[in-house]
Amino acid sequence: MTESRNNPPPMTPSQPYLLRALNEWLVDNGMTPQILVDTRCPGVEIPATVKAEDHRLVLNISPGAVRDLLIENDYLSFVARFSGVSRGVLIPVAAVRAIYARENGQGMMFPETPDETGPVPAPERHSTTPRPPAEKPNRTGGKPDLKVIK
C-alpha cells in the first residue's frame, strides 16, 4: 500500500478541464471569453490571413463568435468567421496561455508546459549550507498530526 502512495499513477493535465470550466463560467455570467494563444506551438492551425503579434493571438470564443466549439483534452476546435469567411480553427490546449473575460479581465493564465520549453532547470539554492532533516517524533498511534492553517 505504501508503494502506491510513493509512486502515484500519472495524472492527466488539468488545463483542458480548467479551460472548459472557465469558459462555461464566463458565458454563464454574460462575459465574452477570449483565449490567448501562442502560435509558435506545434499543431496550431489558424487561417493564413490571421496575423499574430509577437506569436500571440487573442481569439474570441464566445457562442456568438464561434460555432461548434469543442474543448477536448488535447485540442480546442471551432469554426469562426475571419474577414467574412468561415474557417476552421484547431489549437492544441498546450498552446492556450490564458482564458479571460474581455469585459473585466477575470480568468486564468496557464504556464508553459516543460515539454514545450525544453528541460526544466534545477531550482537555485539560496543557501550553501545543507538543511538538517526535520526530526519526526516517535509515534505510538493515536490521532494524525494535522494542522489547520487559516
pLDDT per position as a tens digit, 138-150: 545 555 555 666 6
Give the span between the Cα atoms of 62 and 75, in whole angstroms: 17
The pairing of strands 33-38 and 66-71 is unpaired
Residue written as grid cell 508546459:
113
pLDDT, tens digit (0-9, with 9 covering 90-100), for 78-112: 999 999 999 999 999 999 999 999 999 999 999 98
pTM above 0.75, yes or no: no
Q: For the chain, first and last CA: distance in Å?
A: 31
Please check whether residue 118 lies inside any domain of the structure. no
Task: Supply the pLDDT for residue 121.
Answer: 39
* Reported confidence tier of residue 19, pLDDT bands at 50, 70, 90: very high
Give the span between the Cα atoms of 39 and 90, in whole angstroms: 11
**Mean pLDDT across the chain:** 82
Please check whether residue 43 lies inside any domain of the structure. yes
The domain that holds 95 is classified in CATH as 2.30.30.220
Phi, psi at 64, each rounded to 5° = -80, -15
Q: What percent of the chain has pLDDT over 90?
A: 63
The pairing of strands 75-82 and 85-92 is antiparallel
Domain count, the chain: 1
